[in-house]
A and B are shown apart, each in its own frame.
Chain A
């Protein structure tokens, strides 16, 4: 099933250039200031023009560093050796304006990379920066909007868009200048599976229809294999070509032993949280988010809530956390000690060091330095105690946030997308930690898009749809009954 090799390129211009590599890296070494070992070690790399290249590797392997070195305005400072050519020209020769025109760059976080308040203004941002005249700008913006099918939301405010649309807008904004090469750093890590497919499809069309060279750095290449023409793996500072693209589809086990279905944790059978005929809306003028919803979560189990964007999963969590109140219906929650893990761990970080972070609630929750140190080791963050929480990797931040909450010994743990954007080792660590809590009798409700995670870690699964629970079943039964909705 190698769907990736037989595509003929629609763009003639790309094929007339005689095999000029879009990217050429020779003997590149890079060391961050103060670091002992180089991140990239005499690395050589060649990406042919018009290809759809994947750059895979775990967090911290240097993917982002390598990509950003190809874009002089955002290249990190450090010791650099070797040659970097983009479209046959040394990177250092590009002026900022030339670089903005030729090399597009899309970042991971859709919220952080958008600048303006409305969609049309964001589309024009780069063109305005280049001082393009009015007529040409209108044409570029119109063309790009049509190409990506954005007419319906062209006048919307950026803040009202879903994450998937925000990321598509970030792509559109870079495409408007018609770059010849697009570099993307984990562009789909923050998106739900449907939005991810939409985004990748748009990227695929950019590549095949416009002949634009696409390079995507990712630690989850599975969904991209269908589109890719080549892949490279970065590890230990060196780059190797991945010959068997199909191998990238592999799904790794998250837990050493998948718990058998029906295996009960401590205190099983009891209902920990129950919602009866629940109705909820955010404001008087808003539509109902929950409509006559019934749900019961059994104690000591990991209960996953799955469903599309805006179906009410996060709302359910904040109701169970006691942050919001139902408009109608009843919520019974037996556990007083609760904790809520937000989607973005930054919402939890208030201190200067990892150690102080774990100690923030020590006196309020009644634990001491010894427990904090044990937690630090359990999280595998022993070496990072003196670092600033923001200097940790995304996965480590999520682990730290979870550890901080676990120190308060919650009996009900509510988690919003705990594995979003994380690489395999981090997802494994989270899965392990949650499983241990489940065995200790802690009830957990997890709102997530990560069906792979659900199918390996959760006990019960509920599908939320249209403000109601469409079905609730033990994990295995749930996935057995689903035709479309599976990992």
Chain B
């Protein structure tokens, strides 16, 4: 199933990716051929087949809700590009451009 340029832009928008015009053209072609390949899954009748989201027999177990030591504020922030007063700093959400 070929993707059109608008669809490629829509996916990039959802994924928060800035793509160059050249990347858009390439991805349109490459993703179309991959989607074409995975199309063969649709030929299988899976009406009575349950989905497998995990191969494990049990789905996770909750630990006891007890307080424990976590990462320190210092360690948590040390990889951030910008911090202020023990917090992550980000540019304005409503800036010069509207979404």
Question: Do these two chains really belong together in a complex?
Answer: no
Query: Which residues of A does B touch, CB under 8 Å?
Result: none
Query: Which residues of B does A touch, CB under 8 Å?
Result: none
